[in-house]
Amino acid sequence: MSFQNFITREVADRIQESVGAPCYVYSEAALRQSAEKVLAFPNAYGLTARYAMKASPNSNILRLFASMGLHFDASSGFEVRRAIAAGVAAERISLSTQELPEDIAELMELGISVNLCSLSQVERYGEALPGTKVGLRFNPGLGSGGTQRTNVGGPASSFGIWHEQIARAQELVAKYDLDVFRIHSHIGSGSDPEVWIRVVGMNLDLVNQFPNVTNLNLGGGYKVGRVEGEKTTDLQVIGQKMRGEFEQFAQRTGRRIHLEVEPGTYLVANACAILSKVQDMTDTGADGYAFLKLNTGMTDNTRPSMYGAQHPMWLIPADDSERGEKEYVVVGHCCESGDILTPAPGDPEALSPRRLTEGKIGDYMVIGGSGAYCSSMASKNYNSFPESAEVLLRENGDVAVIRNIQPIEQVWANEVPVL
């Protein structure tokens, strides 16, 4: 399931007239299709499917997913507030965070649930809210991901309580009379079904150590292929195998455990593209490279420069001239040598030219697979570039603006003059 370009020249022209480029363009049809696949995740004894909103937290996306029955995973107290402001019911929000909010008691009063992610969090939460229901996030000792930066399990990861510290976790739970109803883990962004089955077994062993647990949250990380050759997780294959593990656990223990999953990338990655324009061109001679310079870059998508991530690209000519093909290194508009949009796979330091339609200044460039960790994780306001607009391509073909381009005055609006 690699990215399919849904932006035609006619759509690009309409967007250019409305909000200009660069701009994030979401496909409502693609968002709905991915949500339907997640909601059909196989399960033995019930499913709660959550959207990891850090992937792309625009309120319109949250409301669309909520209307389809999804719940939500927040990674900070601020994300909780943002989701509630978007109209999401608090009881549909689960918080798993590296930094326990100072207002955790108030957030719990609103009705959210929480997964405590370290022994220190258990201690601090227990002191503030003894006798309440909680989840515990564990690092099961195994991780999966395309790079170390997308691997959030195993000994190199700080996420969750290390599985060998379970006795201490149990002591703190007893000390503060906490009711552990959920075990949570998240191992990273891999697609290997066998790794997932190993993780399920390891986490069910953890469930077995807490007699009141009714839910097991296996996190997200269901990889999607953005470009040809990248594997996409088959949720039905993984889910069917997971269901078998849950059924066997029920046979052994008599406990029917409710499954939770919380994908982010899977839901939105291939439902969005960045529409940009070629604003300049240059080359470094016969032994060098030909460069296309876009009016976007790490200010809208840091994944290539951070991970060496690969995104499909299509050049859409702005005129009807006949074009051949040419190899280009595609670069962003930042005054930063690392603002490269065509790095080698997994290596942000190396260049990997792409064969594209021959370009001219003024042409459109579509950067696909840009729905996850692009708008939400951009290098905001670097070089004082404003945040780009976001639009939703409706199922009827209409283009709806869901975030305006940031007024330049907002870039420095919070500065306090003292000189």
Rounded distance between C-alpha atoms, residue 61 and residue 26, angstroms: 9
User: What is the reported pLDDT for 147?
Assistant: 40
The residue from 268, 293, 325 where one domain ends is 268
CATH of the domain at 367: 2.40.37.10
Q: Does one domain contain both 219 and 338?
A: no
Tokens matching residue 264: 């982010």
Count of structural domains within the chain: 2
Q: Which residues pair with 60 in a beta bridge?
A: none
Bridge-based pairing state of the strands 133-139 and 179-184 = parallel
Q: Which residues pair with 400 in a beta bridge?
A: 392
Between CA 176 and CA 165, with CA 204 as vertex, the angle to 5 degrees is 45
Q: Does one domain contain both 324 and 337?
A: yes
Q: Does one domain contain both 216 and 185?
A: yes
Q: Does one domain contain both 140 and 261?
A: yes
User: What is the reported pLDDT for 151?
Assistant: 40
Instruction: Confirm whether 3 is domain-assigned.
Output: no
Amino acid at 238: I
CATH of the domain at 238: 3.20.20.10
Instruction: Confirm whether 383 is domain-assigned.
Output: yes
The residue from 268, 291, 320 where one domain ends is 268
Q: Does one domain contain both 248 and 318?
A: no
CA distances from 416 to 74, 284, 384, 386, 408 (A): 31, 44, 17, 19, 16
User: What is the reported pLDDT for 198?
Assistant: 82
Instruction: Confirm whether 418 is domain-assigned.
Output: no
User: What is the reported pLDDT for 150?
Assistant: 41
Stretches in the chain below the pLDDT threshold 70 = 1, 142-157, 187-193
Task: Give the model confidence (pLDDT) of 246-291 as tens digits.
Answer: 999 999 999 999 999 999 999 999 999 999 999 999 999 999 999 9
For residue 334, the tally of other CB atoms under 10 A from its CB is 17
Task: Give the model confidence (pLDDT) of 133-167 as tens digits.
Answer: 999 999 987 644 444 444 444 566 678 999 899 99
Q: Does one domain contain both 325 and 246?
A: no
Instruction: Confirm whether 8 is domain-assigned.
Output: no
The residue from 213, 248, 268 where one domain ends is 268
Output the CA torsion 156→157→160→161 (10° steps).
10
Instruction: Confirm whether 234 is domain-assigned.
Output: yes
Coil, strand or helix: which one is 90?
helix
Residue 250 phi, psi dihedral angles, 5° rounding: -65, -40
Would you say 185 and 199 are in contact if contact means Cβ atoms under 8 Å apart? yes
Cα 60–chain centre separation? 16
Q: Does one domain contain both 338 and 231?
A: no
Q: Does one domain contain both 154 and 181?
A: yes
Rounded distance between C-alpha atoms, residue 304 and residue 299, angstroms: 12
Residue span of the structural domain in which 66 resides: 28-268
Q: Which residues pair with 283 in a beta bridge?
A: 290
Instruction: Confirm whether 58 is domain-assigned.
Output: yes
CA distances from 128 to 75, 123, 135, 265, 357 (A): 20, 9, 16, 34, 60
Instruction: Confirm whether 78 is domain-assigned.
Output: yes
Would you say 403 and 390 are in contact if contact means Cβ atoms under 8 Å apart? yes
Q: What is the largest CA-CA distance in the chain?
A: 74
Q: Does one domain contain both 142 and 179?
A: yes
User: What is the reported pLDDT for 73?
Assistant: 98
Q: Does one domain contain both 322 and 339?
A: yes
Instruction: Confirm whether 359 is domain-assigned.
Output: yes
Q: Does one domain contain both 139 and 286?
A: no
Q: Does one domain contain both 282 and 239?
A: no
